[in-house]
Amino acid sequence: MSERRFSFLGVMAILLGPLVPLDSQAAHCGFCRYPRPCIAPEQCCPPILTTKVVYKPVVEMCTEVCYRPVYQTCYQPETYTTCRPVYESHVEAIPYTVNRTIVEQHQAIQKYIVHKPVYETHLQEQRYTIHRPVVKQYTVAIPYCTYHPVYEHHIRQVTQTRLKPMVESYTVAIPYSTYHPVYEQHVREATYTVHRPMIQEYQVAIPYCTTRPVYETHYRQEQYCTYRQVTEPYQVPYTYCTYHPVYEHHVREYRTTVPRTVVQDYQVPVSYCTYHPVYEQHTRYVACTKYRTVTEYTTEQRVHYVCEPVTVEKTVPVCTGHYETIIEHIPGQVVTRCVRLPGTCSFDPCTCTTNYCPGPIVQQQVQCPGKTICRKVWVPRTEYRKVCETHYVRKPVCTTVQVPRCKTIPYTEMIPQSYTTCRMVAQQHTKYVTKRHCSTIYEEKVYQIPYTTCRMVAQQHTAYITKYRCYTVPEYHTRTVPYTTCRMLTENHVRYETRRHCYTVPETRTVQIPYTTCRIVKQDHVRYETRQRCYTVPETYVVSVPYTTCWIVRQDHVRYETRRYSESIPEECVRQVPVTTCRMIPEERYRTYTYCTTRCVPEQKVRYECRTTCRLETVQHCRMVPVTSCRMEPYTVTRCVTRYVPVCIPSCDPCP
Q: Does residue 464 fall inside a structural domain?
A: yes
458 by DSSP, 3-state: which? strand
DSSP 477-512: EEEEEEEEEEEEEEEEEEEEEEEEEEEEEEEEEEEE
Block means of pLDDT (10 residues each) for the chain, 656 residues, are 45 45 41 46 56 78 80 82 80 80 79 80 79 77 80 80 78 80 81 79 83 82 80 80 82 78 80 82 80 80 79 83 83 82 78 79 81 82 82 80 78 81 82 78 79 81 79 81 81 83 80 80 81 78 78 81 76 80 80 78 80 80 81 80 75 55
CA-wise closest residue to 367 among 170, 171, 175, 519: 175
Nearest to 167 by CA among 529, 534, 530, 531: 534
Name the residue range of residue 519's domain: 48-332+369-652
pLDDT at 18: 42
φ, ψ of residue 343 to 5 degrees: the values are -85, 180
- Name the pairing type of β-strands 353-357 and 344-348: antiparallel
Surface-to-core class of residue 292, CB atoms within 10 Å of its CB (0-12 exposed, 13-18 middle, 19+ buried): middle
**Which helix (DSSP H) or strand (DSSP E) does residue 603 occupy?**
strand 371-652
Residue 394 corresponds to which amino acid? R
Amino acid 222: pLDDT: 80
In a domain, 42, yes or no: no
Give a yes or no: residue 41 inside a domain: no
How far, CA to CA in Å, does 490 sit from each of 59, 210, 220, 646?
A: 10, 6, 28, 18
Length of the chain: 656
459 in a structural domain: yes
C-beta of residue 648 within 8 angstroms of C-beta of residue 51: yes
Q: What pLDDT, on a 0 to 100 scale, did the predictor assign at position 43?
A: 52
Instruction: Quote the number of domains for the chain.
Output: 1
Q: What is the 3-state secondary structure (H, E, C) of 256-269?
A: EEEEEEEEEEEEEE
CB-based contacts of 391: which residues, under 8 Å, 6+ apart?
309, 310, 312
Give the Cα separation of 615 and 86 in Å (integer).
Answer: 5
In a domain, 53, yes or no: yes
The 10 Å Cβ neighbour count of residue 5 is: 14
Measured CA to CA in angstroms, residue 38 lies from 44, 82, 264 at distances of 12, 120, 191
| Residue 283 neighbours by CB under 8 Å, 6+ apart | 416, 417, 418, 419
In a domain, 570, yes or no: yes
Q: Backbone phi, then psi, for 13, in 5-degree steps?
A: -70, -40
Q: Is residue 23 part of a domain?
A: no
The torsion angle over the Cα atoms of residues 633, 639, 643 and 647, rounded to 10 degrees, is: 110
| Residue 177, domain member (yes or no) | yes
**CB distance 315 to 388 below 8 Å:** no
pTM comes to 0.18
Q: What is the pLDDT of residue 490?
A: 82
pLDDT of residue 590: 81
Quickly count: other Cβ atoms within 10 Å of residue 565's Cβ: 16
Tell me the pairing of strands 371-652 and 49-330. Answer: antiparallel
Q: In sequence order, what are the residues at sequence separation of 6 or more whose Cβ sits closer than 8 angstroms to the Cβ of residue 316?
A: 384, 385, 386, 387
